[in-house]
Chain A
Amino acid sequence: MKIRIYPKLAWSGISKNRKLYVPYILTCICTIMMYVIIMTLINDGNIPGMQGGAALRSILMMGSWVLAAFSALFLFYTNSSIMKKRRKELGLYNVLGMSKSNIAVVLLIENVIVAAVSLAGGIALGTVLARLSEAGLAYILNENAGYGMLVSYEAVILGTAVFGVIFLLIFLNSVRQVRFSNAVSLIKSENTGERPPKGNFLICLGGIILLAGAYYISVTIKNPLTALGYFFVAVLMVIVGTYAMFISGSVMICRILKHSKRYYYRAQHFISVSQMSYRMKRNGAGLASICIICTMVLVMISSSACLYIATEKTVEMRYPEPVSVSVAMRAGDVFSEKTETIKKYVYDMLAKEGVSASSEVEYRSFYMCGDIKDGVITEDGMNVNIFILPLEDYNKILAHVSGNKKSESLGADEALIYAEGTDYAGDSITAAGVTYKTRRTDINPIRDDRVVTGLATFVIILNDPSVCLEHYGYGKWYFGFSTDADGERETELSYDLISGLQDTVTEENGFGGVRYVDSDSRARGIKDYYTITGGLLFIGIILSTVFIFAGVLIIYYKQVSEGYEDKSRFDIMRNVGMTDREIRKSINSQILTVFILPPAAAVVHLMFAFPIIKKLLSLFAFGNTLLLAGTIAVCVAVFVILYAAVYKITSNAYYAVVKK
């Protein structure tokens, strides 16, 4: 064959199928662009030098991996379905005398064109938009963005390499699809009669079990730390279950409906039910993908937005005092005059810096990470943070919090209890071998370590906890205060306090069992939190954009391919004596049903995922259920509007095909 004919055929192969290729190339460009943006931000610009930049970089890095993996899978799948649609055309080339290796050359050129356009477009757009994205990220983080173009050679090279490999795999797969089929079957592949869908009862049952199991996990999960592991298990179960239900379950439902003759043989049900099962069989996988994409986007955006919105509130809760000092050491030292030495050092230091402290809070505690079993505290297990405080210290905190309005008193055999996140419901507690009658308080006296680990908190307040000294050797002293300095100064102070205290609280100075000496400022917490929550929000937005793009592409292809199928059915139904209006009404309602199913299922998934998402967010010290519910509701509302718009636009593509 003449060399010059190859590029010609390749070009006509793409331009004749532009209905399929244009959206595909747009999606390629979008994913490459996002990848280049992330990579540029990781390697250049202001982020590497930011405070908390390392944490942000690793969040972005993780996002880039997710993006690359998703793009590979999605583009691969999309291309192979395009190739399936082009079978007839390629079969014709074969029949007209092109060998399969000739066709492979044409495919190669086609793929090179697609790859070149996508890479050029994606990299160019990514580079142009990188600075804008940085500005967006900086805005989220309350930081400053840089100016001018941001060009990262690393990003360009990495983007080209990663997507080059993806395109190579896609090409090899198209060749494989042509190779393992003969010319006649290539041409005839469209005409083979469609088998009626047979819903597999076992697959359907499996799907129900998987979904029920995943929901059960989410609803019953208790411990946030184990929740993370279970979360991924539940996600996998939901994905597989959703596919099973959409592919098999829907067909099963149609079959059951068919069995009821009085229901089935009615004008309004007859055509819908029989065609729905076909539609679902064709689109089951696509619809399940849309459903999963919907769910992912909603979970990602609502949880990251929620975390971000709540950042300052969360930090305030975590840092009740603007500056804090805590020392974990031998309990004997915590409950002794030695804490005065430390306090004196802090005041000396503040005086030297010309800063004065106010609203000081201080308390001593026994501390252990353990569990509560049948009203007895044990040091086995890592489920509950247990504190034991003297009533004297508790009353000081109570006075601080309530403005001297409240105080408590306890008998020798009584204990006051604050519990959060445990299922403790008894009326007695045994600590250090002594059993106390319990009363509840709803004021958490613990000022540090609050919900940070996401573990349950259990605080026992005793009139005289000195008996515990023999049993629990480890304690904590906390000292917190406000200052007349600004946040930045407070952060510097806390750094100075750490290094100074580390030299003061030592074995040589008579302190024993020192586990850590820490000082922290609320201002620093806010900054740190923003890099994490802001980074998560940013990556959430980027990934959601790509996912949404992919979802739209799936929807678009579904509409176009259904259009071609429905066209002939349309004609037959008209001939059999249905009016155009009846036909359109029936098809409209089917398409609408098919369209509403994925987001509807996604919302159900989301509702069941709510408990486990809340648990996971508690790892980030987030505990505002109402805010989470509100954010999810807003996200769902916005998403539904967006989805409806996509439906409207793509159904125009459908009617364009049907009417032709």
Chain B
Amino acid sequence: MSILEVRNLRKFYTSRLGGQRTEALKNVNFTVEQGEYVAIMGESGSGKTTLLNILAALDKPTGGSVLIDGKDIAGIKESEMAKYRRENIGFVFQEFNLLDTFTVEDNIYLPLVLSGMSYDKMHDRMTPIAAQLGISGILRKYPYEISGGQKQRAAVARALITRPKIILADEPTGALDSKATDELLRLFTEINMSGQTVLTVTHSVRAASSAGRVLFIKDGEVFHQIYRGGSTSDQLYRKISDSLTMLATGGEIK
């Protein structure tokens, strides 16, 4: 069963003066199955951030629909939207978005506290996740005391702790060095192996090559996609590079 279904998604921006229309997304269609790990690639301005914002219900589409677990998110009332988002979608951002006023632990608890969960229950959930992500030792620290990689792992923990249906990641490796990037990608794969659906938006070939499927967006449309199949990350990396070159030069896909 598909956990995420995007149908005929369109998004226009109209400039305030003159009424000129910009098409950010023309006609986007794809589905993500339960337990999949999908990467969406595209250059700056290709519309991938717009797409992510709409998937996250932070922005409204001009046309088309987004179904999460069979439910159209356009039908959710504004007042329930935040709650819905909190309970069904986990976010990982390029800039980590940890609150500097909280310890790492409290940052991770934040969505659960908002949902009114008791401390003991939260704590029970925390223990295995912290161990899996290797952040058990830094829970009491504040964001300013830890490295970028650690911050991102804390952010991943915050996304996982609500047991979301899908994790949306926006350039998760964008602010990390190569070692931390490898570490994070390994974690994403691991999380995915344990059954978690992950959708990541990136323009890093390396980040995309750890996914099970890569979608390419160009000029507001899904242009092409590659399945990992049986290939290794390195092989997938090469395939993605080729596709990108093709996209850039406007050549035909073989």
Contact = CB atoms under 8 A, between A and B. Distances in A.
Asked if A and B bind, the verdict is: yes
Interface of A: 192-196, 261-262, 265-267, 270-271, 274-275, 277-278, 569, 571-579, 582
Interface string B81-105: 1110111000101000111111100
A576 B119 contact: no
A572 B85 contact: no
A195 B113 contact: no
B97 A572 contact: yes
Interface in B88-143: 91, 93, 97-103, 106, 109-111, 113-116, 118-119, 122, 142-143
A261 B83 CA distance: 23
A576 B81 contact: no
B144 interface: yes
Contacts of B122: 265
Contact of B86 (A192, A262, A576): A576
B109 A576 contact: no
A395 B108 CA distance: 86
Interface string B43-63: 000000000000000100000
B113 A266 contact: yes
B15 interface: no
A265 B119 contact: yes
Nearest first, the 4 closest Cβ-Cβ pairs linking A and B are A193-B144, A577-B86, A579-B82, A572-B97
Nearest to B116: A267
A25 B74 CA distance: 51
Given A193-B143, A262-B119, A572 B83 contact: no
A576 B98 CA distance: 10
A265 B122 CA distance: 10
B114 A267 contact: yes
Contact of B100 (A193, A573, A575, A577): A193
Given A265-B119, A577-B114, A579-B82, A274 B102 contact: yes
Contact of B106 (A192, A266, A274, A569): A274
B85 A577 contact: yes
B212 to A, nearest CB: 26
Contacts of A196: 101, 103, 142
Contacts, number: 74
B158 interface: yes
Given A193-B143, A194-B144, A195-B144, A575 B97 contact: yes
Given A193-B100, A267-B116, A275-B101, A575 B91 contact: yes
Contacts of B249: none
B20 interface: no
Contacts of A194: 100, 144
Contacts of A574: 58, 82
Contacts of A271: 110
B232 interface: no
For chain A, what secondary structure do more than half of its interface residues adopt (helix, strand, loop), or is it mixed? helix
Contacts of B87: 577
Interface string B154-169: 0000100000000000
B79 interface: yes
12 contacts: A193-B142, A265-B109, A265-B122, A267-B113, A271-B110, A573-B99, A575-B91, A575-B97, A576-B97, A576-B111, A582-B82, A582-B114
Contacts of A277: 101
A572 B93 CA distance: 10
Contact of B99 (A262, A572, A577, A582): A572
A193 B141 CA distance: 13
Contacts of A278: 100-101
A262 B114 CA distance: 14
Given A267-B113, A274-B99, A582-B82, 5 more contacts: A194-B144, A270-B109, A576-B97, A576-B110, A577-B86
Contacts of A573: 99
Contacts of B103: 196
Nearest to B82: A579
Nearest to A569: B99
B110 A270 contact: yes
B151 to A, nearest CB: 10
A579 B106 CA distance: 19
B147 to A, nearest CB: 11
A153 B99 CA distance: 58
Contact of B83 (A270, A575, A577): A577
Contacts of A274: 99, 101-102, 106
Given A265-B122, A569-B99, A577 B82 contact: yes
A573 to B, nearest CB: 8
B106 A270 contact: yes
Contacts of B144: 192-195
A626 to B, nearest CB: 48
Nearest to B162: A577
Nearest to B115: A267
Contacts of B116: 266-267
Contacts of B82: 574, 577-579, 582
A571 B119 CA distance: 25
Contacts of B109: 265, 270
Give the one of A194, A261, A571, A577 with max B CB within 10 A. Answer: A577
Nearest to B97: A572
A87 to B, nearest CB: 19
B113 A577 contact: no
Nearest to A580: B82
A258 to B, nearest CB: 9
A262 B122 CA distance: 12
Nearest to B79: A579
Which of B98, B101, B113, B119: most chain A CB closer than 10 A?
A: B101
Contacts of B113: 265-267, 270
Contacts of B158: 576
Given A193-B144, A261-B119, A577 B111 contact: yes
